[in-house]
Amino acid sequence: MDAIVPITRFNRGEASKIFDEVNARGVKIVLKNNVPACVLVQPERYEEMVEALNDYALFFEAERRTKASGSDQTIPSETVLKHLGISKEDLQDIEVEIE
């Protein structure tokens, strides 16, 4: 399997070569004593995965709040945005935190 790299390659001073392989292929699984010890991923790919997880968390929180409201009536986001004078483009660069 091309994505697997034994930790001994790091011990032999091949870290730079391994990082080049990660950049070329996207991912490497590092084995220590024949057991996966960590996964090396391109920084861009890692950011994409973290963003996807955050999006899922937001979705599930929104779903939970919708169910908890007990109301069958919802207002479309377009209506709310129009009422507030906000466009979808205005929302693109806003950071969101869920408590």
Residue 1 has a pLDDT of 62
What residue ranges of the chain have pLDDT lower than 70?
A: 1, 99
DSSP-assigned states of every residue in 19-43: HHHHHHHSEEEEEETTEEEEEEE-H
Does one domain contain both 33 and 52? no
Residues 68, 36 within the same domain: no
Is pTM, for the whole model, over 0.85?
A: no
Is residue 94 in a domain?
no
Tell me the residue range of the domain where 49 lies.
Answer: 45-87
pLDDT at 16: 95
pLDDT at 32: 94
Do 80 and 63 lie in one domain? The reply is yes
Tally of domains within the chain? 2
pLDDT at 93: 79
State whether 51 and 82 are in the same domain: yes
Structural tokens at position 78: 């377009």
- Verify that 33 and 54 share a domain, yes or no: no
Dihedral angle computed from the Cα positions of residues 7, 13, 16 and 22, in that order, rounded to the nearest 10 degrees: -20
